[in-house]
Amino acid sequence: MPVRMGTIPQMGNSLKANIGHTPIIPLEKMSSGLPCTIYAKAEMLNPGGSLKDRLALSLIESAEKEGRLCKGGTVIEVTSGNTGIAVSWICAVKGYRALIVMSDKNSREKQDMMKLFGAELILTPHTVKPDDARSNYMTAERLASEVPNSVYLDQYNNPANIDCHYRTTGPEIWEQTEGLVDCVIAGAGTGGTISGIGRFLKERNPGIQIVAIDSVGSIFTPYFETGDVPQAEHYEVEGIGSDKLIGAMDFEVVDKFIPVPDRDAFLTARKLARQEGLFCGGSSGAVLSAAGKYLRDRTDIKFPVIVLADSGNRYLSKLYSDEWMRSMKYL
Ligand SMILES: Cc1ncc(COP(=O)(O)O)c(C=O)c1O
């Protein structure tokens, strides 16, 4: 009996072949006591460990196609870490210089990962307001105007951010659930994930509930509920919430925003690891914590899908460190 071999991988196609098409996993233990099973789209299984691989590849390849990025070019991006990691490894493969701007609130592991792929990192103080010249946004804009032959991806305002999840993550969820999905719960950082998935799925079925998960202290929930933008307050969870309104967040497709306190986010992420063997970051914990509470009362929802945005390996010194958790009074 001959051994059946697979197809030989094609040279030059490895990036596209490896990114996306992540599995959807039922969370049996974490759904106990709920009227339905929670299904989790495991985005931490992307090669760079987060859903941002999809975005970075799409933004870099559209800059190439439009002729804005060519040999010897530099890619500049602002990030809470995951986009920076994704940009860094894709630039390593494609041979571009990566210049990453990130607030100093984000984990040490994220900084180390970007550097190991050869990226240059500029850390900005998290204590300054978004319009301060020292902020991450303003620093990236300044660099984009100073560095020759550079492209600033600007995930916070680039329409291609929403579009990337509209073209990939949304259709994957629809196909993997055979159109049965009736609720998606995902974190909102730039807003691209929830907006792109929501836009795609609502075109298929306008009744699908789209729930965005925010941090307590972020401006998204108060803006969604009142139309006013308050002063943001500090929160520890990385990747979700915002201190200003941004172009990649489409409030029209969202039915509800739920703000989650840091402690709930971190403790639920730890529980997810112990109960389901899934190793994810604090934003995934926030999503799951909010999903558990929201779905308890929504007996009409039968097939909820949550998005687990990134891997826990970049938070070993934070939420997975008992010492750090105790020092922050979360344990
Ligand atoms: C850990 C984590 N969770 C969730 C998100 C939210 O994704 P989006 O920026 O598409 O709203 C991000 C974005 O950076 C993230 O890093």
Instruction: Please report the pLDDT score of residue 4 as a whole number.
Output: 63
Q: What is the pLDDT along the chain (331 residues), one digit of tens a residue?
A: 555 667 777 666 677 789 999 999 999 999 999 999 999 999 999 999 999 999 999 999 999 999 999 999 999 999 989 999 999 999 999 999 999 999 998 889 999 999 999 999 999 999 998 889 999 999 999 999 999 999 999 999 999 999 999 999 999 999 999 999 999 999 999 999 999 999 999 999 999 999 999 999 999 999 999 999 999 999 999 999 999 999 999 999 999 999 999 999 999 999 999 999 999 999 999 999 999 999 999 999 999 999 999 999 999 999 999 999 999 999 9
How close is the Cα of 186 to the center of ligand 1, in Å?
A: 9
Name the residue of 41, 43, 46, 50 whose CB sits within 8 Å of the most ligand 1 atoms, as the mutation to test its pocket. Answer: 50
Phi and psi based region of residue 122 (left: phi greater than 0; alpha: psi -120 to 50; beta: remaining): beta
Nearest ligand 1 atom to the CA of 82 is: 16
Nearest ligand 1 atom to the CA of 190 is: 9
Nearest ligand 1 atom to the CA of 165 is: 10
How close is the Cα of 81 to the center of ligand 1, in Å?
A: 9
How close is the Cα of 307 to the center of ligand 1, in Å?
A: 10
Maximum C-alpha span of the chain: 69
- CA-nearest residue for atom 16, ligand 1, is 239
Instruction: Please report the pLDDT score of residue 27 as a whole number.
Output: 98
- CA-nearest residue for atom 13, ligand 1, is 239
* Residue 3: HSE in the Cβ half-sphere, 13 Å Cα cutoff: 3
Domains in the chain: ranges and CATH:
14-45+168-325 (3.40.50.1100), 52-152 (3.40.50.1100)
- CA-nearest residue for atom 6, ligand 1, is 189
Cα–Cα distance for residue pair 144/142, rounded to 1 Å = 5
- CA-nearest residue for atom 14, ligand 1, is 239
> Among all residues, which ones are annotated catalytic?
52
Instruction: Please report the pLDDT score of residue 7 as a whole number.
Output: 73
Cα–Cα distance for residue pair 331/316, rounded to 1 Å = 15
In this prediction the pTM is 0.95
Report the pocket of ligand 1 as residue ranges, CB < 6 Å: 80, 82-83, 187-193, 238-240, 281, 283, 309-310
Q: Which two tokens stand for residue 22?
A: 């992540």
Please report the sign of the dihedral spanned by the C-alpha atoms of residue 216, residue 220, residue 221, residue 222.
positive
Instruction: Please report the pLDDT score of residue 120 as a whole number.
Output: 97
How close is the Cα of 193 to the center of ligand 1, in Å?
A: 7
Instruction: Please report the pLDDT score of residue 287 as a whole number.
Output: 99
Cα–Cα distance for residue pair 205/221, rounded to 1 Å = 24
How close is the Cα of 311 to the center of ligand 1, in Å?
A: 12
The candidate with the shortest Cα–Cα distance to 219, out of 245, 256, 193, is: 245
Cα–Cα distance for residue pair 143/148, rounded to 1 Å = 9
Cα–Cα distance for residue pair 87/79, rounded to 1 Å = 10
DSSP for 218-271 reads -SHHHHHHHS----------SSS--SS--TT--GGG-SEEEEE-HHHHHHHHHH
The candidate with the shortest Cα–Cα distance to 89, out of 127, 115, 59, is: 115
- CA-nearest residue for atom 1, ligand 1, is 239
Contacts of 221 (CB under 8 A, 6+ apart): 214, 257, 258, 259
Instruction: Please report the pLDDT score of residue 130 as a whole number.
Output: 85
Angle at 200 between CA 174 and CA 309, to 5 degrees: 70
Nearest ligand 1 atom to the CA of 310 is: 1
